[in-house]
Amino acid sequence: MPQTPESNAFTPLENPAELSTRTPAHAAAGAAAVVSSFRHLLSRTGPLRAAAGMLGLNQTTGFDCPSCAWPDPDGHRSAFEFCENGAKALASEITSSRADPAFFAQHSIAELARHSDFELDQAGRLTHPMVLRPGATHYQAISWEDAFALAAEEFKALPVADQAVFYTSGRASNEAAFVWQLFARQLGTNNLPDCSNMCHESSGYAMQEAIGVGKGTVTLDDLHHADMILLMGQNPGTNHPRMLTALQTCVRNGGHLVAVNPLREAGLLGFMHPQEMLGTLGKATPLAADYLQPQLNGDMALLRGMAKTLVEDNTIDADFIRAHTNGFELYANAVRSQSWEELEQLSGLPREAMQRTARAAATRRNLITCWAMGLTQHRNAVATIREVINVHLLLGAIGKPAAGLCPVRGHSNVQGDRTMGIFEKMPEAFLDRLEQEFSFPAPRHHGYDTVASIRAMHDGKVGIFAALGGNFLQAAPDTEYTAQALSNCALTLHIATKLNRSHLVTGRTALILPCLGRSEEDLRDGVPQFVTVEDSMSMVHASRGSLKPASPNLLSETAIVCGLAAVALAQKTTVPWDAYAADYDKIRDSISRVVPHFDHFNERVLAPGGFRLPNDASRRVWDTDSGKAGFHTVPVSAFKAAPGRFVLQTFRSHDQFNTTIYGMNDRYRGISHGRRIIFMNPADLKKLGLRPLQQVDLTSYWSDGIRHAEGFQAIPYEMPSGNCAAYYPEANVLVPLGSAADFSGTPTSKSIEVSIAPSRLPNQI
């Protein structure tokens, strides 16, 4: 299937002449980060709004950064508790540009589809509810009342509730997420796919099975005092810049950092704290003392090699293993009989590297492992994360200070959304309490996750696709298939702050319902409301917007969901939607009765910095069937491509937040003015007879079909032979829908089998 040019679904080609490359950086942040932050803010909005925005960011009385889920430091916060990417996210939200009805009157859907993602974001904030009527070429303004009535008609027309899909992106607040899942369940469906399905689902699944809790077990303070931190499959310099401060503190306290990444990422090599530049001008703190570059998906073999070393050296914590775990004997036998040759072949690392890393952990004992998408988006992701846990169990490095597991979350409230019930298969106990609180029969059969939703829409089994934030089309695998799926719906509905490509590939009717951003003041009947979020380390805290809204016509996400649900469910509902929309304290009162550990929510959340949800595993209480933490013994595996083909990972540039493109550069990797790029091992590039910057076409292979993407420029970049990398979402056309992680169902965006050939595009360079 070549990309069909008439489809609205694809990111347009770029002008290859604009791309330029430099040597990659050896440290992150520093003066360039500060300059970039201000440039983004001031190019998007006036100096007063920029300053007001920055002063509110992550302060205890302000709003939560709309970027990543990294926690805020306790106690002392500086006036500038933000990072470059927080500043970019804020700039994108507080921009002075407006995608208003005049903008939509000027541009047809087909014309907007020819804009790049960067240009779509530049269109600015949505200001009015917009409707695309059947057969229309342009979106038109519609009143809130009519928009709700139109959507309600579609909901009422559904023969069964399971023909509705409710997607959630991880920026939604706890309150919005709670009313969203309540709307879905009162309608009668558990079809609640979310971005987590494409993100940390594998982590949650593995940890839940092994240690009885699907969340990380450490705090910021633990990271500061860890003896060793293993950083696997993540790029914190770009995606969690505030984490670098914690890593720096750990190094200064004598901690040993080991990075595991096929690429040498600047933010793992060194850090120059923007607030210390004057004192140590030009000097970066070195971060990773050791840097392992395995092949893509070589991590499970590396971890197994570490386990083999620990078992054979007998540096395991036998007392902990005896008291707290089961399955050790089976695992230890498998590890002992495992051959080093196989581990070397699967990981792409020499056995000395695996032994060195294991011995560093054994002498230091207090180990924390941090990981993100480099581990979760593979076929064997759950097994790989179970292997991380196996190593921690061998060392007893969990449930004590300065040791434990740290899945580094993505979206700022993705963890909170799950806590609030955004999950297609919430535990029965949650549904029981929901029934009690609202006196209705909650649906019990499991709903669709992201991949199942796409298939169901494609098969014509879904009438309504409704999204609380996000950019489903661009985030999901297999862009063409997903586009067909969305087009099959009677109604596609998006609650959003900014225009994106998902709004251009629509059902028969489409609605865009514009909402307030997190930085903006939320007044209900003149009374300011706040919302709450949960960060990567289970801290729940308030977020209060303070800026003037981008348009007087905007409603908060919470008010939109309540308004929509009230009309769509009409007499069928037992929820006081109007009261909820008028006063979010009432929603929190219900949350306190439905969600575990949220008792006295309204009082406790007022404490500066909020409160931490308890985590049993962090005090060595294992909420598993056996009451113990479990070793997991499966054969070690790694994804390999057929001879002559490559393993492709799709990742983020420095100038994007997921599908929102803030700019065309990737500063640390030395890339300017281009995103349609494929990074390749220099020798591989030569072997294929390609010149640097030459345009190539990519083909991906999976049992469910082959897929094509054209016009990517090849760039030599240090990484293991046989691996390559391209940016998401441009490369999503290549991600096979049929290739998902075992158990968690996460699309395998980091292990895609591809071939690379000179481009057949006309006029290519």
Ligand X SMILES: Nc1nc2c(c(=O)[nH]1)N[C@H]1C(S)=C(S)[C@@H](COP(=O)(O)OP(=O)(O)OC[C@H]3O[C@@H](n4cnc5c(=O)[nH]c(N)nc54)[C@H](O)[C@@H]3O)O[C@H]1N2
407 is a site residue for ligand X (CB under 6 A): no
Minimum Å distance from CB 736 to ligand X? Answer: 11
Among 71, 294, 410, 674, binds Mo ion (CB under 5 A): 410
Given the rule CB under 5 A, which of 199-207, 303-311, 643-651, 692-700 is the region that contacts Mo ion?
Answer: 199-207
Q: Of residues 185, 411, 612, 707, which one binds ligand X by CB under 6 A?
A: 411
For strands 671-672 and 98-99, give the pairing. Answer: unpaired
Q: Which of 3, 219, 500, 681 binds ligand X (CB under 6 A)?
A: 500
Q: In whole angstroms, how close is the CB of 666 to Mo ion at the nearest point?
A: 18
517 interacts with, out of Mo ion, ligand X, none, CB within 5 to 8 A per kind: ligand X
Q: Between 39 and 58, how does the x/- string for binding to ligand X read (CB under 6 A)?
A: --------------------
Q: Which of 660, 748, 755, 759 binds ligand X (CB under 6 A)?
A: 660
Element (H, E) at 591: helix 584-594
Please name the helix (run of DSSP H) or strand (run of DSSP E) that holds residue 562, with its range, or none. helix 557-569
Binding partner of 453, given ligand X, Mo ion, none, CB within 5-8 angstroms per partner class: none
Contact, 399 vs 217, CB < 8 A? Answer: yes
| Cα–Cα distance, 205 to 69 (Å, whole number) | 19
Residue 430 CA to residue 555 CA, distance in Å, equals: 29
90 binds, among Mo ion, ligand X, none (CB under 5 to 8 A by kind): none
Residue 708's DSSP bridge partners are 699
- Site residues for Mo ion, 232-291, by CB under 5 A, read none
How many residues bind Mo ion (CB under 5 A)? The answer is 2
What b/e sequence results for 185-196 when a residue is b if at least 16 CB atoms lie within 10 Å of its CB, and e otherwise?
A: bbbbbbbbbbbb
Among 347, 656, 694, 739, which residue sits at the site for ligand X (rule: CB under 6 A)?
A: 656
Residue 212 touching Mo ion (CB under 5 A):
no
The DSSP symbol for 631 reads -
- Which partner in Mo ion, ligand X, none is near 565 (CB below 5 to 8 A by kind)? none
Site string for Mo ion, 645-674 (x = CB under 5 A): ------------------------------
- Segment interacting with ligand X, rule: CB under 6 A, options 96-104, 294-302, 340-348, 684-692: 294-302
H runs (alpha helix) in 158-234: 174-187, 201-211, 220-225
Min CB(612)–ligand X separation in Å: 21
Among 419, 590, 650, 695, the residue binding ligand X under the rule CB under 6 A is 650
* Neighbouring-strand partners of residue 533: 541
CA distance 669 to 357: 26
560 binds, among ligand X, Mo ion, none (CB under 5 to 8 A by kind): none
Return the axis-axis angle of helices 299-313 and 351-364, rounded to nearest 10°: 60
Contact segment (CB under 6 A) with ligand X among 44-52, 533-541, 546-554, 656-664 equals 656-664
Contact flag: residue 195 with ligand X (CB under 6 A): yes
- Cβ-Cβ contacts under 8 Å for 585 (sequence gap 6 or more): 602
Give the Cα separation of 377 and 410 in Å (integer). 13
Is residue 638 within the footprint of ligand X (CB under 6 A)?
A: no
Q: How far is the CB of 371 from Mo ion (least distance, A)?
A: 13
The least distance separating ligand X from the CB of residue 200, rounded to whole angstroms, comes to 7
The residue sitting closest to Mo ion, measured at its beta carbon, is: 410
Neighbour tally for 555: CB within 10 Å: 21
Question: Using CA atoms, how far apart are residues 297 and 11, in angstroms rounded to an integer?
Answer: 28
In whole angstroms, how close is the CB of 729 to Mo ion at the nearest point? 13
By beta-carbon proximity to ligand X, the closer residue of 261 and 592 is 261
- Cα separation, 463 vs 492, in Å, equals 9
Coil, helix or strand at residue 446: coil
CA distance 373 to 356: 25
Q: Which stretch binds ligand X (CB under 6 A): 35-43, 207-215, 393-401, 728-736?
A: 728-736
**Which residue bears the tokens 């495992």?**
338
Q: Which stretch binds ligand X (CB under 6 A): 15-23, 104-112, 237-245, 596-604?
A: 237-245
Strand 671-672 and strand 20-21: pairing? Answer: antiparallel
Short-list 741, 743, 756, CA closest to 297? 741
Cβ–Cβ under 8 Å, residues 206 and 389: yes
Half-sphere exposure of residue 201, counting CA atoms within 13 Å on the CB side? 27
The span of 292-300, 436-444, 451-459, 665-673 binding ligand X (CB under 6 A) equals 292-300
Please list, in sequence order, all residues whose beta carbon lies within 8 angstroms of the beta carbon of residue 642, skipping any fewer than 6 positions away: 701, 753
d(CA 751, CA 651): 11
- Closest CB to ligand X among 303 and 335? 303
Binding track, positions 542-571, relative to ligand X; x by CB under 6 A: ---------------x--------------
Site for ligand X in 314-333 (CB under 6 A): none
Among the residue ranges 9-17, 30-38, 381-389, 402-410, the one whose residues contact Mo ion (CB under 5 A) = 402-410
Min dist CB 204 to ligand X, Å, is 13
Q: How far is the CB of 133 from ligand X (least distance, A)?
A: 21
In whole angstroms, give the CA distance from residue 554 to residue 563.
13
Size of the site for ligand X (CB under 6 A): 60
Partner whose footprint covers residue 653, from ligand X, Mo ion, none (CB < 5 to 8 Å by kind): none
Helix, strand, or coil (residue 704): coil
Q: What angle do CA 287, 291, 292 make, to 5 degrees?
A: 155
The closest alpha carbon to 215, from 228, 205, 230, 229, belongs to 205
CB of 130 to ligand X, least distance (A): 13
Report the alpha-carbon distance of residue 349 to residue 302 in Å, rounded: 7
Stretch of residues binding ligand X (CB under 6 A), selected from 397-405, 511-519, 663-671, 683-691: 511-519
- H or E element that contains 513: strand 509-514
Interface of this chain with ligand X, residues 171 to 190, rule: CB under 6 A: 171
State yes or no: residue 381 binds Mo ion (CB under 5 A): no
Residue 542 to residue 607: CA distance in whole angstroms: 9
Return the number of the residue (53 or 233) whose C-beta is nearest ligand X: 233
Interaction partner, residue 372 (Mo ion, ligand X, none; CB < 5-8 Å by kind):
ligand X
Rounded Cα distance, 602 and 606, in Å: 7
Nearer to Mo ion, 410 or 729 (CB): 410
In the shown chain, the binding pattern of residues 105 to 144 toward ligand X, with x for contact by CB under 6 A and - for none, equals ----------------------------------------
Closest residue by Cα to residue 717 from 652, 669, 649: 669
CB-based burial, 633-671: b 16+ in 10 Å, e otherwise: beebbbbbbeeebbbbbbbbbbbbbbbbbbbbbbbbbbb
Distance from C-alpha of 680 to C-alpha of 718, rounded to nearest angstrom: 8
Largest CA distance in the chain: 71
Q: Which residues contact 345 (CB under 8 A, 6 or more apart)?
A: none
Q: Which residue in 199, 321, 454, 564 binds Mo ion (CB under 5 A)? A: 199
CB of 85 to ligand X, least distance (A): 3
Site map for ligand X, 197-216, x if CB under 6 A?
A: -xx-----------------
Stretch that binds Mo ion, among 332-340, 409-417, 420-428, 560-568 (CB under 5 A): 409-417
Instruction: Note the residues at the interface with Mo ion (CB under 5 A).
Output: 199, 410
Instruction: Note the residues at the interface with ligand X (CB under 6 A).
Output: 67-68, 85, 169-171, 195, 198-199, 232-235, 238-240, 260-263, 265, 294, 296-297, 299, 372-374, 377, 410-411, 468-472, 475, 495-498, 500, 515, 517-518, 557, 649-652, 656-660, 728, 732, 735, 749-750
